[in-house]
Structure 1
């Protein structure tokens, strides 16, 4: 299977076929994933459905070089973390695949990027190296080809002035920001925006007390004067994103699906509508690992929609005692 074939997926059956092909590729070319499957005593000949594919715990990206390719690593994305903590490392051997993935995903969810002025308020990401989010937003800013698009670090006054001006001109604007920075902005300035999308990327990054989504979004809706707050679901270990248009329900592109695992038994999946740990199949991760058991809790609604409910306690994720070499 050529990696770019994932962008031609148009049905659930196609997704499942490619996921099974991807599993065979991982078994053959990814030593870390192969050892994980061996540890679970998985016989690859017995894997006939997507639901039977083992999901690699996301913590492995902190401990091992997760690669299914012998090609040179073009870049390494790293997760943010507190001082002294071990960060995830996602080695990328085909940067063009990542760029095509986020471009296509944005187009599917929001249409032509050239119709938007994209403003970014991502101080915690700009202040470190290795952020996949910064690379994505930087490329989308360039793709927008709008003179007003750009990043803002701490100049909230200039950002406030631009937001109000562009909105008054009726321009389509997308402001994408980390949660704590968006809260800082609405505490300093008040808005009444009509043609602007506010998208939060989650996380207080140790700058503020964590808030539940409903509380965070209510504060931001009042502060920006908008009816909904959009969200982006992405992570260092994935090369694709899900987006929410404000109702807490995330939709995914055709090459990404989520499954829910039992919170008591990490190797068992639960039915849609049941709370569980989020497992992700991201077929854009062809050269690393597409099958990832995340630390997020959620509910699957249907083939391409899911809800985020919270996170596991990272100090004690049930079932992970089964997942150590």
Structure 2
């Protein structure tokens, strides 16, 4: 795919089905793993006339195969978290600039220019390991904000509390981006009334606390931190794009990302509404695979979706140990 493709998908305009079908043909011709999967399902390009006919690659392939279009030296390698009992996914990123443009344009679409924000990262578990796509995204957004108080706070809740007090006193727009267990710990230690602040959880209990539903997590954070809505980010190692929820657990995608549903008993049955397993088209994911069949169970409401949990018997990964 050439420069014009990325200019088109990141323009902010809706991406046509014709572009998605072109991407499918590119994948089939250049991604051997994906081609083998399509052939096994009997879904060659001449048989795919509509987006809903495109096969989605099981996300588990990122644990067992190198999923790439051709051979290249990756500029980044992302690895999932997980536990000592799980095999982690590896995502080889051909061009770091594509990931950077995707998350920057996505953030701007939902939250505006990062320079308007002070961005506080509470991501201790992710900072303690290498190759986290979430840490890369948060670190770059922190740098783009250019605010002197932006940064990572690890387990230093006292310093984070002091910073929030200072930001509140000057009316600074603030984004507190945190892994779920750390946000819960901070909210327990420092109950307060936040102002001009968005609290955004990224999932991740890491087995450290009693499992809570997303509703219970959000209700507790609302009570302890005094914010009206808890925002959420939906992303994963195997994708280059993120969906965001500004409350009530309803996620919206940027124009270059689409969500469909599939039946557990029939992976080729694609739905645009109702309940099922989540399939994601990430058009930024050109050089690995843009068509991903996740293990997440969800509900699709036209232009938004909700994540209900993870398919039974699938590996629990670091971003998904929370029972949703």
TM-score range, shorter chain: over 0.9
Once the two structures are superposed, what CA deviation does each residue of 1:238-263 show, in whole Å capped at 9, x if it has no partner?
A: 00000000121111100000001012
Equivalent in the alignment of 1:287: 287
Q: Distance in 1 between matches of 2:297 and 2:235?
A: 14
Contact 1:203 1:210 in 2 (8 A): no
Contact 2:80 2:237 in 1 (8 A): yes
Equivalent in the alignment of 1:243: 244
- Deviating more after overlay: 1-10 vs 151-160: 1-10
Q: Distance in 1 between matches of 2:38 and 2:131?
A: 29
Equivalent in the alignment of 1:314: 313
Task: Give secondary structure in 2 for the equivalent of 1:284.
Answer: coil
- Deviating more after overlay: 206-215 vs 74-83: 206-215
Once the two structures are superposed, what CA deviation does each residue of 1:189-220 show, in whole Å capped at 9, x if it has no partner?
A: 11101210000001201212221111000000
Which structure 1 segments of 5+ residues have no match? 317-325
Contact 2:76 2:96 in 1 (8 A): yes
Contact 1:105 1:240 in 2 (8 A): yes
Q: Trace 1:24-173 onto structure 2 (pairs within 5 A).
A: 24-173=25-174
Q: Distance in 1 between matches of 2:18 and 2:235?
A: 24
Q: Distance in 1 between matches of 2:16 and 2:241?
A: 15
Task: Give secondary structure in 2 for the equivalent of 1:129.
Answer: coil
- Deviating more after overlay: 39-48 vs 288-297: 39-48
Task: Give secondary structure in 2 for the equivalent of 1:8.
Answer: coil
Q: Distance in 2 between matches of 1:136 and 1:208?
A: 26
Question: TM-score if structure 1 supplies the norm length?
Answer: 0.93
Contact 1:295 1:311 in 2 (8 A): yes
Q: Distance in 1 between matches of 2:49 and 2:41?
A: 17
Question: TM-score if structure 2 supplies the norm length?
Answer: 0.94
Q: Distance in 1 between matches of 2:230 and 2:281?
A: 26
Dislocated runs of 4+, deviation >6 Å: none
Per the TM alignment, residue 311 of structure 1 is displaced from its structure 2 partner at its CA by: 1.2
Q: How large is the RMSD of aligned CA atoms in angstroms?
A: 1.4
Which structure 2 segments of 5+ residues have no match? 316-324
Contact 1:191 1:224 in 2 (8 A): yes
Q: Distance in 1 between matches of 2:71 and 2:11?
A: 25
Per the TM alignment, residue 271 of structure 1 is displaced from its structure 2 partner at its CA by: 3.9
Per the TM alignment, residue 107 of structure 1 is displaced from its structure 2 partner at its CA by: 0.3
Contact 2:272 2:302 in 1 (8 A): no
Equivalent in the alignment of 1:6: 9
